[in-house]
């Protein structure tokens, strides 16, 4: 009898340890020291997050569970900065309109955060400009998006560590005309205020790099961050107001707008082929994150969180 009781207690003890181990696996982030006040990237700006792609063995936008409706070229998964990542090899994926990012005023002010791993394409046959991500109006002939995260990869050799990130947005003004604005990661050697002497070259090529762009319509600042540092040379965009998007609009990775991706009136330019790049943890916020939170996203992502 005593032996049976001991065996029963031993089994219960082993079961309890097993449950404890499973529970601890589910709370790994909580058991680690916080970084910049957060346990993981999901806690940063959570109230304002309107779209998120993890690429952890799924291409779906995870908040709405929206699946792609168009895939072209090489599209696969690879090891990412946080879990898995999207790997494009002259490839692209597009999505049907997603409610939270498909209204004129959905992203008046915004932040887009993503991790990218890409090489320069200068001198490479079929190489060119790289579009990582954008939200594109469906029915117009414009190849550019309402907003777009890109890189001037054609200006740099494959072995170069320079990554010339490029922000782009196009807003509809009060008179229904369009205003295209951009910012580029480079040293602006001009002397004219407000952008002269600003920006810097970003050494983020050939490895995982954190890219964030923010638009603040009240201050007309189109900020560009590389690994948590402001690197844009053309941040001040004059009097450009909040972003008014052309809709319906579709999220897309790896391509400018083009008929073969479902944008019937647009033609992909020769200088911007389908992308060859890895992309991870793409987040769209309907607010301007503070730089301290952008730094937190970089530090958390660097730790795989």
C-alpha count within 13 angstroms, C-beta hemisphere, residue 90:
8
pLDDT, tens only, 252-302: 999 999 999 999 999 999 999 999 999 999 999 999 999 999 999 999 999
pLDDT, tens only, 15-33: 343 433 434 334 556 689 9
Cβ distance 257 to 266 under 8 Å? yes
SS3 32: coil
Show contacts of 53-59: CB within 8 Å, 24+ apart: 53/86, 53/253, 53/281, 53/282, 54/82, 54/83, 54/84, 54/281, 55/80, 55/83, 55/84, 55/85, 55/86, 55/279, 55/280, 55/281, 55/282, 56/83, 56/84, 57/84, 59/86, 59/93
pLDDT of residue 35: 96
Which domains, from first to last, does the chain contain?
Answer: 43-302 (2.60.120.200)
Distance from C-alpha of 235 to C-alpha of 223, rounded to nearest angstrom: 5
pLDDT of residue 19: 36
The list of the chain residues with pLDDT below 70 reads 1-30
């Amino acid at each position: 009898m005593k032996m049976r009781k001991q065996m029963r207690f031993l089994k219960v003890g082993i079961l309890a340890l097993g449950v404890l181990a499973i529970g601890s696996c589910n709370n790994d982030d909580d058991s680690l020291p916080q970084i910049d006040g957060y346990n993981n990237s999901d806690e940063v700006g959570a109230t304002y997050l309107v779209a998120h792609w993890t690429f952890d063995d799924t291409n779906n936008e995870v908040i709405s569970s929206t699946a792609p409706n168009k895939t072209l070229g090489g599209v696969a998964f690879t090891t990412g900065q946080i879990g898995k990542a999207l790997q494009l090899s002259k490839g692209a994926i597009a999505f049907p309109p997603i409610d939270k990012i498909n209204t004129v005023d959905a992203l008046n002010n915004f932040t887009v955060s993503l991790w990218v791993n890409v090489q320069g394409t200068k001198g490479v046959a079929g190489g060119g400009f790289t579009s990582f991500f954008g939200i594109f109006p469906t029915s117009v002939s414009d190849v550019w998006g309402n907003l777009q995260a890109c890189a001037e990869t054609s200006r740099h050799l494959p072995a170069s560590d320079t990554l010339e990130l490029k922000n782009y947005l196009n807003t509809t003004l009060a008179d229904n005309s369009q205003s295209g604005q951009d910012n580029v990661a480079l040293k602006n050697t001009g002397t004219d205020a407000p952008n002269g002497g600003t920006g810097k070259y970003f050494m983020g090529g050939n490895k995982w790099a954190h890219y964030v762009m923010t638009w603040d319509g009240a201050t007309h600042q189109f900020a560009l961050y590389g690994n948590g540092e402001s690197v844009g040379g053309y941040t001040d965009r004059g009097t450009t107001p909040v972003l008014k998007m052309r809709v319906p609009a579709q999220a897309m990775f790896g391509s400018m707008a083009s008929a073969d991706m479902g944008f019937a009136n647009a033609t992909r330019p020769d200088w911007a082929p389908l992308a060859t790049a890895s992309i991870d943890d793409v987040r769209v916020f309907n607010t301007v994150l503070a730089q301290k939170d952008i730094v937190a996203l970089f530090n958390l992502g660097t730790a795989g969180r």
